[in-house]
Structure 1
Amino acid sequence: MTTLFAQPYDISASGFYFETFEDYQDKAIKAVNRYGEPVEEFEIQFIDGEEIDSELAKAFGVNQANLESFFEAIEDLDKQDKQKLIIAVGDCGYDLESVLSDPDGADVDIFYVSSMRELAEQFVEEGIFGPIPEPLQFYIDYDAIARDLEMDFSEIVIAGETCVYRCH
């Protein structure tokens, strides 16, 4: 369950907690300040929920305008799609709306490895550098390859999981 808080910009009004978009709408329409005037603007704060959803809220820059899309993303996207969105919007500069409308349009490669060195080892094993004779395999400098990979790839930790990614 994801819990958010709507903090009114009007300092004479009280905020409220909510867990769904419908819950937010019901409470927001009833919100008034101490003079009985309706409250129109809220700062939306992520309070509790899964760690990846907290990261998603940061990538969204969750606010009143995209709150419904945020709740839909929590429900509709799986963990890997959420990670891709977080990276694409947060680090690669993609527009949130374009990624939501076409998730495959974000040209981001994600590798689920714990370090750049592990990615270097994976690339060598997969033959990306061509066939390497067995006697030479013991002389490969994976750390040097990892340093070279850092020119195009970056590491990120999302919800406690390390990924290596590249934006195109």
Structure 2
Amino acid sequence: MKYIKYAVAVALFLASCTSPDRDNLNEKASVQAADELPENPLLLIPITFSINPKEGSMSTLYGNNEAMQHAKLNSGNAYPAGSVLYEVTWKQKSDSLWYGANIPDQIIRVERVVFNGDALPGYELYSGHPLRKVAFPSSAQRIALITAQQMAHNP
């Protein structure tokens, strides 16, 4: 009887040993090596984020150091020369680990705004899978919407 108890205890111990869940990393929401982006915007500094429930999408505005310093100190949309902004938009999906939570799924589009000191900043749109640069005729409107976003402040 004593040996049976030990055998059951050892069996339970061995059954509880599992390897870490390797599927927990959300690789679909990442920038892929085949994408044509000049840099990985997810490695830059997040400035603000937004959720669009009607589209089922979420966006994060990223910027380089110059853009982040401007966003901290100013509320205007006249970013200094050398600033680069990226608005990354993902489809949302339900989180399998947290009931009721949504997480990013695949990237829908990446918008890049570059401030060179010119009157109108440069605008590039990347979409598709893998992300490719596509033409977008009304860039002035998108630039205005992206640069009007205010920085999210932490408490």
TM-score under structure 1 length normalisation = 0.21
Length-normalised TM-score, structure 2: 0.23
Report which of the two has the higher share of helix.
Answer: 1
- Relative to total residues, which structure has the larger strand share, 1 or 2? 2
